[in-house]
């Protein structure tokens, strides 16, 4: 089996993608996620380094192949495929694909440490979405086997407001049978009662248009943000559900939900006053995007009411 694994990796390293995919289809016992000695890269890392994104899509379409997007390279640095893609200077489109799939995989595998790490620099549009090759998004996996602490650590502390109207994707056969996608709250009511209150607080009685699945009920473009107050190691008192439900209704920071909105985030000819100074400062250093419109931050200004 090791000989086959080396051959598979040789094909990936050489960019012979059709032959590599053909080999995987023909060998059901060949594990894509095993990196034999003395190699440091797996197939997924080779794709991240120089492969077309279509090859990654093809991997997910092979029924007997499991793709572990959280698999790390061997050696001292231990990088995910996403990190390999970032360091290789891949295009924004490729990076978005890898980020979306890695976020969902980390949540699925309950790798909360990795998920929180990824969320610190994640684009909200890659969080609040169900990838076309997946059935669940990050919020659905947290609803299934996460906790309130995980929800807040991953979303609230990183300033990303969860789209709780986002529904799971159903297959064509499920849709034909009358099944529709579920919201995170729907999943929690069935599988994880301990987190229901958090999710229902923002989702409300209606979780989006009936029959929709796999796409957000509202555009997620205005949901990227930063983390909590700069230098703070204390979990914010507001929950992710509270932030999503009330951030627009009160004059407090949309990130920490404690301090007043006293900082203007400037982007181009416009600005948004949505955060406190500490959160805006940290936002400028981390995600570099406005939590309201997702535009790149040009500068921040502290405002004083007189």
Averaged pLDDT, groups of 10, the chain, 306 residues long? 93 97 95 94 97 96 94 94 96 96 96 94 94 95 94 89 93 89 95 90 41 36 33 39 45 77 90 87 81 86 82
Contact assessment for residue 164 and residue 216, using Cβ atoms and an 8 Å cutoff: no
Taking the C-alpha atoms of residue 178 and residue 197, their distance in angstroms, rounded to an integer, is 28
Q: Nearest CA to 57 among 7, 21, 5?
A: 21
In this prediction, residue 295 carries a pLDDT of 84
Taking the C-alpha atoms of residue 77 and residue 89, their distance in angstroms, rounded to an integer, is 18
Structure token digits, residue 283: 């936002």
Cβ-based neighbours of 171, under 8 Å, separated by 6 or more: 135
In this prediction, residue 223 carries a pLDDT of 34
In this prediction, residue 256 carries a pLDDT of 72
Task: Count the residues in the chain.
Answer: 306
CA-derived radius of gyration, the chain: 21
Taking the C-alpha atoms of residue 241 and residue 112, their distance in angstroms, rounded to an integer, is 19
Kindly list the domain boundaries of the chain, sorted by start residue: 1-90
Helices marked H in 228-295: 240-246, 277-285
Taking the C-alpha atoms of residue 11 and residue 18, their distance in angstroms, rounded to an integer, is 9
Q: Nearest CA to 161 among 107, 106, 216?
A: 216
CATH number of 1-90: 1.25.40.20
In this prediction, residue 205 carries a pLDDT of 37
Residue environment code for 278-304, b if the CB has 16+ CB neighbours within 10 A, otherwise e: bbbbbbbebbebbbbbbbebeebeeee
In this prediction, residue 255 carries a pLDDT of 77
Q: Residue written as tokens 């205005």?
A: 222
What pTM does this model have?
Answer: 0.68
| CB-CB neighbours of 96 under 10 Å | 17
Taking the C-alpha atoms of residue 187 and residue 25, their distance in angstroms, rounded to an integer, is 33
């Amino acid at each position: 089996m090791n000989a086959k694994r080396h051959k598979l990796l040789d094909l990936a390293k050489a960019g012979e993608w059709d032959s590599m995919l053909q080999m995987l289809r023909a060998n059901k016992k060949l594990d894509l996620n095993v990196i034999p000695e003395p190699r440091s890269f797996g197939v997924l890392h080779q794709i991240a380094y120089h492969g077309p994104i279509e090859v990654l899509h093809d991997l997910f379409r092979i029924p007997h192949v499991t793709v572990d997007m959280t698999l790390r390279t061997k050696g001292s640095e231990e990088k995910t495929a996403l990190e390999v893609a970032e360091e290789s200077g891949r295009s924004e489109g490729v990076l978005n694909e890898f980020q979306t799939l890695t976020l969902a995989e980390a949540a699925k595998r309950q790798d909360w440490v990795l998920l929180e790490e990824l969320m610190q620099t994640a684009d909200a549009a890659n969080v609040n979405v169900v990838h076309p090759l997946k059935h669940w998004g990050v919020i659905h996996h947290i609803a299934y086997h996460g906790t309130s602490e995980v929800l807040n650590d991953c979303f609230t502390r990183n300033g990303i407001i969860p789209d709780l109207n986002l529904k799971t994707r159903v297959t064509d056969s499920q849709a034909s049978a009358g099944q529709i996608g579920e919201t995170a709250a729907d999943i929690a009511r069935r599988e994880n009662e301990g987190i229901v209150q958090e999710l229902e607080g923002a989702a409300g009685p209606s979780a989006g248009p009936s029959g929709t699945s796999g796409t957000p009920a509202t555009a997620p473009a205005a949901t990227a943000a930063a983390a909590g107050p700069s230098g703070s190691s204390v979990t914010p008192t507001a929950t992710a559900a509270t932030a999503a439900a009330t951030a627009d209704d009160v004059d407090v920071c949309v990130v920490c939900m404690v301090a007043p909105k006293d900082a203007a985030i400037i982007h181009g000819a416009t600005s948004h006053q949505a955060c406190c100074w500490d959160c805006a400062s940290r936002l400028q250093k981390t995600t570099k995007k406005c939590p309201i419109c997702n535009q790149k931050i040009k500068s921040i200004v502290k405002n004083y009411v007189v």
